[in-house]
Amino acid sequence: VAKTEELTPAALREKASWLLGQTSMHAHRMLIDALDAEDARPYHYRLLAALREFGSGSQAELGRHANLDRSDVVAALDELVDRGFVERSADPVDRRRNVISITQAGGAHFRKLDKILNTLQDELLSPLSPSQREQLIKLLRRVLEHQNGRSSER
Amino acid sequence: VAKTEELTPAALREKASWLLGQTSMHAHRMLIDALDAEDARPYHYRLLAALREFGSGSQAELGRHANLDRSDVVAALDELVDRGFVERSADPVDRRRNVISITQAGGAHFRKLDKILNTLQDELLSPLSPSQREQLIKLLRRVLEHQNGRSSER
DNA sequence: CAAATTTCAGTTCCACTGAGATGG
DNA sequence: CCCATCTCAGTGAAACTGAAATTT
């Protein structure tokens, strides 16, 4: 049996950016696999979550909430419209905008995906105790808030 | 001033996979930017680190250490050869193999990149105290080891 | 005129797949 | 015959860029 712990150079293993990259890549693969069973993609979940939490809105607004590029919002919403999970309609007060609203089927779909995502978190964090999980999330959130602060200063 | 903390849906903000993805993406962008100044890419650093730590070896072996796909090893090594940081030579005992060795310039290059990477870790973790940084690294490493264990069982 | 929105076309980076040629 | 290695060509997802058309 190969000792995978000794495969990776220490120079990499000790770097937070490396650990973040590896764990996040693995988590992302798990996510793709899990969503695939529902014919869904990570972008779908993000958009539906933003819609449920902030209500209907323009595509631009939605993209900012879900952290999607304006370009990718178009294509991802096309897919959600195809599946009947959201509706596009012209905004009567600002004719540049499309108003996106979530359908009933979309709400049900989101709840299903959210369950899948929650299960996935458990699997991902299974080697950690409950307090360690909280710790990890707290630390990551702090790093992320700092990053968001710095990038919005630019 | 916009409150970026309130932009993201709670459904996302509370998920470890989301936090990992966002922080790692940001870290990756920082990495790309920092290495760009040295005309280098993340793949270069990984390969050089593996070479320094495990010594000369075949490309396949190198790829396993640096976690690069066999296909990507070829192209990345081409770049490093062009820059004079590694040398390709035929393996006398196994003529399928290329033996890759790091040059003196390559060693110097690695040390420069390693400094850049270390500075970047500091910047990345700047909102955390020293003990929090250790905590984060410890927790991430534990998650990663668990992932590696599961994926090698398949 | 400046700014925002939607959309399209195209790019980059990373990871990966399939297949061919060579050799152990 | 099977397996490993190196290489090439191509795919796919995610994030992003530039520009056009429309409207505010």
Q: The tokens of B103 are what?
A: 């040059």
Determine the pLDDT at residue B2.
42
- How far, in Å, is the CA of A29 from the C1' of nucleotide C19? 25
Kindly give the pairing relationship between strand B57-58 and strand B86-90: unpaired
Determine the pLDDT at residue A5.
44
Cβ contacts of A49 on chain B, cutoff 8 Å: 9, 11-12
With a cut of 70, say whether residue B152 has pLDDT above it. Answer: no
- How far, in Å, is the CA of B71 from the C1' of nucleotide D7? 8
Q: Contact A46/B135, CB-based, under 8 Å?
A: no
Determine the pLDDT at residue A152.
65
Local structure of A126: helix, strand or coil = coil
Residue-wise pLDDT for A128-143, tens only, equals 999 999 999 999 999 9
**Closest Cα partner for B150 from A14, A23, A11?**
A23
Determine the pLDDT at residue B150.
78
Q: Length of chain A, please?
A: 154
Q: Is B19 exposed, middle or buried (0-12, 13-18, 19+ CB in 10 A)?
A: buried
Determine the pLDDT at residue A24.
98
Residue with token string 């359908």? A103
What is the Cβ-side half-sphere exposure of residue B106, based on CA atoms within 13 angstroms? 26
- How far, in Å, is the CA of A88 from the C1' of nucleotide C12? 31
- Give the one of A4, A9, A121 whose C-beta lies nearest to B17's C-beta: A121
**CB B72 within 8 Å of CB B43:** yes
Mean pLDDT score of chain A: 94
**CB B99 within 8 Å of CB B56:** yes
Q: Contact A127/B137, CB-based, under 8 Å?
A: no
- Give the one of B12, B20, B65 whose C-beta lies nearest to A24's C-beta: B20
Residue-wise pLDDT for B75-92, tens only, equals 999 999 999 999 999 999
Residues A84 and A106: their CA atoms lie apart, in Å, by 7
**Closest Cα partner for A121 from A45, A15, A12, A66?**
A45
Q: Does A131 touch chain B (CB under 8 A)?
A: no
Determine the pLDDT at residue A149.
87
Q: Contact B127/A146, CB-based, under 8 Å?
A: yes
Determine the pLDDT at residue A104.
98
Name residues 22-41 of chain B within 8 A of A (Cβ): 22-28, 30-31
Residues A135 and B136: their CA atoms lie apart, in Å, by 8
**Closest Cα partner for B86 from B70, B60, B66, B105?**
B105
Residues B11 and A149: their CA atoms lie apart, in Å, by 21
Closest chain A residue by Cα to residue B4: A148
Residue-wise pLDDT for A29-72, tens only, equals 999 999 999 999 999 999 999 999 999 999 999 999 999 999 99
Q: Does B7 touch chain A (CB under 8 A)?
A: yes
Quickly state the pLDDT bin for B132 (edges 50, 70, 90): very high
For residues B43, B48, B49, B52, the Cα torsion angle rounded to the nearest 10 degrees is 160
Residue with token string 């899948």? A116
The pTM for the full model equals 0.93
Q: Contact A127/B145, CB-based, under 8 Å?
A: yes
Q: What's the whole-number mean pLDDT along residues B98-117?
A: 98
With a cut of 80, say whether residue B6 has pLDDT above it. Answer: no
Residues B46 and B151: their CA atoms lie apart, in Å, by 21
Residue ranges of E strands in chain A = 57-58, 86-90, 98-102
Share of chain B above pLDDT 90, in %: 91
Q: Contact A117/B15, CB-based, under 8 Å?
A: yes
